[in-house]
Chains A and B, each alone.
Chain A
C-alpha cells in the first residue's frame, strides 16, 4: 500500500479571516406553512396564513481559520465563526423574535502515521444559536450542540482514501429540555479522485471525485419520555471539476424512533453546477429535492420527527473585486411541492453582500 503522505517540517502559523455582511429579503421569516395561502382582508392576526410575512434583514458573519504545523506529521486547525441576523420590521408581526446570534468553534488535530500510511485525527466542535439582544425571547430555533470525534484515515494508491470515525455529540434545545439529546455516532467513508487526462501535461484535464459513506448515530432523549432514535444515513457524492464544476449527491436517511413508534425515510437528491460566466463572475446553481416518507403510530398531537418535504433551488453569483474584496448575490427558493399532504410551504430569500478576506 502506498503511503500517500506528504512530508513537512514545522511551519509557521497560517490564518485566514473573512468578514461578510449583506442585506437580505426573506419572504417567510417565521418559516410558516399554510394550508390555503389566503389571508382575509382585513388581516386577522390569529390566522397564521396572515403571519407568513417577509422582512428585510441584515446578515453579518466573521470567520477565522488558523492552520499550524507544530512539527513534522502534525497539523492543527482551529476555526470559528460569529455572526447573526438582524431583522427589520415586518408587515404584520414582530420580526425581532427571529433575530439570532450564532457562535461556533471547531478544533482539529491530525497526526500522520507514516509507517502505517494513515492519518489519525481528533476533532471537537461547538455550535450555538441564541437570541440577539437580551430582550429577545428564546425561540424554538435556539439551540446548542457540541461534540467530539476521532477518525482514522487510510490512504491507498491513486488517491483512494478510507476514513473510519466515531464520536459523541450532545444537543440542547434552549426552550425545552424535553428535546435535548446525546449520543454516539460512527461512520465509514470512502473517497477517491480520478483525473481525466494528465493534469501535468494536458491543459484540458479534469478531475472526478467520488465519495460514499455510511453513518449510524444514536440519540438518547431525556425528559419524561424515554426515547432513543437511531439514525442511519448513506451518502454518495460525485464532483466533476473541469471547465465547470458539476456535482451530484444522493442521501438516504432512515430514522427509527422508539418514542412513539415513529420512523422516517428521507431521500435527498442534490444537483449543482458552477461555472464562470465571464470576467471571473462565477455562478452556482443548485437544486435539492427532498422526499420524506414517515410512518407514525402516534396519537399524541406532538410530532417528534421532521416529516416535511423541503426542496430548494438556489443560485449564487460572486465576483472578486480585488484580492481582498468580493461581492455576491444569492437567491433561494424553498418549497414542499413534493409533499403528500397539506400544508404547503413557500419561502424566497434574496441576498446581496460583500466579503472581505485577509490571510497569511
Chain B
C-alpha cells in the first residue's frame, strides 16, 4: 500500500467560473460612445479618484486571478506527474526483487522527491496568491463602496454593484476545506516517504490549530455576551423583589394607623411599569428582558431565531471543517450561523472546538508514530 501524498487544499470555487477565464470582475469593459463631461459610464476612462481607485483595484485583482489560475494549473500538472511517479514506484516495489529493480526504485524516488518539492513550492505560492487575491477582493469591494458613496450615475452604479457582488462571492467561495492527509503507516514506505507524510500532517495540524484558535475566540466571545445578558437579567430579577411600591395612604400618610387598612389602590398593586407577573424568571439569553411592560410579549430569543436569515448566510466553519468534525456538529454550526442568539453560537462553536481539539490530538499522536518509524528505519 502506498502513501497517497496528495496535497490537500481544495479551494471551493465553482470550477466553471475558474475554468472559463477571468471572472466578470476582471472583464474589460466594452467601448462606450462619448458621454457628457462629468458623467461617468462603466466603459469610460476613470475620471474621478473614486473611479480610478476602483479601476486600479479591478486591474490588480484581474492580474492576481490570472496568476492564481496559472499556478493552479501548474500545481495540477505537477500533482498528476507526482501521482504517476508514485504509481510507478509502487509498481516497481511489487515486482520481483532484483538489482535493476532497486536501481530503478532509487532513481524514480529521487525524481518523485524532486517533484514533491516543486509541488510543495507551487502549493505554497498558490496559497500566497490566494491570500493576496482575497485581500484584493476586499480592497475592490471597499473601493466600490467608496465610489458608491459618491452617488455615481445609474449605469455606473449598476456596474459597480455587479462587480462588488462578484468580488464578495469570490470571497465566500474561497472557504477552504481542510482535508486531512492519509495517516496510515505504509509498511513498505521508506523514511523519506514517511517524513513527507509527516510534513503533510504537520501542515494539517497548523490549519487545525488556526481553526481551533478561531473557534475558541468565537466561543469565548459569545459566552461572554451570554454571561453579560444573564447578569443583567439577574439584576432585574433581584430587583423585582425589592417591592418598592409606596405604602401610600391618605393625606395623613404618616399616620401609622393607615398601614393597616387605608391603603390606597396603588399599594402593592403591580402597575404597568412593574412586572405583571414578577416571577423574575429569565428567558433564554435575550438581551431584551421580559420584565416591565412586556407581559405576554415573547422575545423568543431562546432558539426561535434559528432558521432566520443569517448575516449574508456565508458558509464558514461548516465548510472549512467539513472533513474534521461530525455531521451533527456541522448542522449545529450551520444553525448557529443563521441564529442571532449568542448562546446558540457559543454552544455550536464550543462543540466544534472540542471536536477539532480531539482530532488535532489524534493527528499529533499519529504524526509522532510515523516520525518514530521513519527514525527507526533510518537507523538501520
Chain A residues with a Cβ under 8 A of chain B: 2-7, 30-35, 45-49, 51, 59, 61, 63, 65, 67, 79-81, 83, 85, 100, 102, 104-106, 108, 110, 119, 121, 123, 125-127, 129, 137, 139-143, 145, 147, 149, 151, 153, 155, 157-159, 161, 163, 165-167, 169, 171, 173, 175-176, 178-179, 185, 187, 189, 191, 193, 195, 198-201, 203, 207, 209, 211, 213, 215, 217, 221, 231, 233, 235, 237, 239, 241-242, 244-245, 247, 249, 251, 253, 255, 266, 268, 272, 274-276, 280, 282, 284, 286, 290, 301-308, 310, 312, 314, 316, 318, 320, 328, 330, 332, 334, 343, 345, 347, 349, 351, 355
Chain B binding surface, main DSSP class: loop
Task: Check A316 against B231 for contact (C-beta < 8 Å).
Answer: yes
Task: Known contacts A173-B269, A245-B232, A306-B271; decide if A191 and B299 are in contact (CB<8 Å).
Answer: yes
Q: Which 7 A-B pairs have the closest CB atoms?
A: A140-B263, A6-B306, A4-B308, A306-B266, A149-B296, A48-B254, A316-B235
What residues of B have a CB within 8 angstroms of the CB of A143 in the complex?
A: 268-270
A349 / chain B contacts, CB cutoff of 8 Å: 242
User: 5 other contacts beyond A49-B254, A178-B265, with CB at 8 A cut-off?
Assistant: A140-B260, A173-B265, A187-B295, A203-B218, A217-B272
Contacting pair B311 A195 (CB below 8 A): yes
> Could you list some 23 contacts between A and B, CB below 8 A?
A3-B307, A7-B307, A31-B243, A32-B247, A33-B254, A48-B255, A79-B281, A140-B261, A145-B276, A165-B296, A173-B265, A193-B305, A195-B340, A199-B311, A211-B299, A241-B225, A251-B273, A253-B271, A274-B229, A280-B227, A301-B251, A306-B264, A349-B242
Chain A residues whose CB sits within 8 angstroms of the CB of B337 once the complex forms: 200
Q: A63 touching B281 by the CB < 8 A rule?
A: yes
Q: Which residue of A lies closest to B252 (CB)?
A: A301
B272–A171 contact, CB under 8 A?
no
Q: Is B153 an interface residue (CB 8 A)?
A: no
Q: Output the nearest chain A residue to B239 by Cβ-Cβ distance.
A: A314
- Residues in A with CB closer than 8 Å to B234 are 284, 316, 318, 328, 355
Q: Which residues of A contact B251 (CB under 8 A)?
A: 301, 303
The answer to whether B263 touches A46, judged by C-beta atoms less than 8 angstroms apart, is no
Chain B minimum-CB-distance residue to A171 = B269
Residue of A nearest to B337 (CB): A200
**Contacting B228 at CB < 8 Å: which of A85, A235, A276?**
A276
How far is it, in angstroms, between the C-alpha of A233 and the C-alpha of B294 when the chains are bound?
A: 10
Q: Is the CB of A310 within 8 A of B244?
A: yes
Q: Is B34 an interface residue (CB 8 A)?
A: no
Residues of A within 8 Å of B276, CB to CB, are 125, 145, 147, 169
Q: Please, which residues of chain B bring their CB within 8 A of the CB of A249? A: 292
Q: Is the CB of A173 within 8 A of B268?
A: yes
**Among candidates B254, B261, B279, B307, residue contacting A5 with C-beta atoms closer than 8 Å:** B307
Contact check: which of A105, A153, A207 meets B287 at CB < 8 Å? A207
CB nearest neighbor in B for A85? B241
Residue among A142, A217, A272 making CB contact with B268, cutoff 8 Å = A142
Is the pair B294, A213 in contact by a Cβ cutoff of 8 Å? yes
In the bound complex, do residue A155 and residue B308 qualify as a contact, i.e. CB atoms below 8 Å apart?
A: yes
Alpha-carbon separation in the docked complex, A51 to B342 (Å): 48
Asked if B293 and A176 make an inter-chain contact with CB atoms under 8 angstroms apart, the answer reads no
Q: Which residue of B lies closest to A306 (CB)?
A: B266
A129 to chain B, nearest CB (A): 8
Which residues of B in the span 278-330 have a Cβ within 8 Å of any Cβ on A? 278-281, 286-288, 292-300, 302-312, 314, 316-317
Task: State the CA gap A330–B241 with chains docked (Å).
Answer: 12
CB distance from B332 to the nearest CB of A (A): 12
Task: Report B-chain residues with C-beta under 8 Å of the C-beta of A59.
Answer: 241
Cα of A279 to Cα of B153 in the assembled complex, Å: 54
Contact status A305-B345, CB under 8 Å: no
Cβ of B44 under 8 Å from chain A: no
CB within 8 Å for A233 and B244 given contacts A6-B335, A104-B279, A201-B316: no
In the complex formed, the residue of A with least CB distance to B279 is A104
Q: Does B238 contact A (CB under 8 A)?
A: yes
Pairwise interchain contact A140-B267, C-beta atoms closer than 8 A: yes
Q: A314 and B254: CB pair below 8 A?
A: no
Contact indicator B253/A179 (Cβ below 8 Å):
no
Quick check: A175 and B229 within 8 Å, CB to CB?
no
A151 contact from B267, B298, B308, B312, Cβ within 8 A: B298
Q: Is the CB of A125 within 8 A of B297?
A: no
How far, in whole Å, are A14 and B231 apart by their CA atoms in the complex? 21
B229 touches A241 (CB 8 A): yes
B256 contacts which of A6, A51, A355 (Cβ < 8 Å)? A51
B304 pairs with A6, CB closer than 8 A: yes
Tell me which residues from 65 to 104 in chain B have a Cβ below 8 Å from any Cβ of chain A: none
Cα–Cα, bound, A65→B280 (Å): 11
A217 to B245, CA, bound (A): 20
Alpha-carbon gap, A210 to B254, bound state (A): 43
Check if B231 sits within 8 Å of A81, measured CB to CB.
no
**Beta-carbon contact of A179 and B269 below 8 Å:** yes
B221 contact from A102, A203, A235, Cβ within 8 A? A203
B199 CB-CB contact with A under 8 Å = no
B259 at the interface (CB under 8 A from A): yes
Q: Is the CB of B247 within 8 A of A141?
A: yes
Residue of A nearest to B234 (CB): A318
Inter-chain contacts of B308 with A (CB < 8 A): 2, 4, 155, 157-159
Shortest Cβ distance from residue B39 to the other chain A in the assembled complex, whole angstroms: 35
Q: Is the CB–CB distance between B309 and A157 below 8 Å?
A: yes
Q: Which residue of B lies closest to A238 (CB)?
A: B288
- With A and B bound together, what is the CA distance between A330 and B308 in angstroms? 37
When the two chains form their complex, are residues B307 and A140 in contact, meaning their CB atoms are under 8 A apart?
A: no
In the bound complex, residues from chain B placing their C-beta under 8 Å from that of A253 are 271-273
Q: Contacting A334 at CB < 8 Å: which of B244, B310, B345?
A: B244
Inter-chain contact A233/B246, CB cutoff 8 Å = no
| CB-CB nearest in chain B for A127 | B277
B173 at the interface (CB under 8 A from A): no
Contacts of A308 in B (CB 8 A): 246, 248
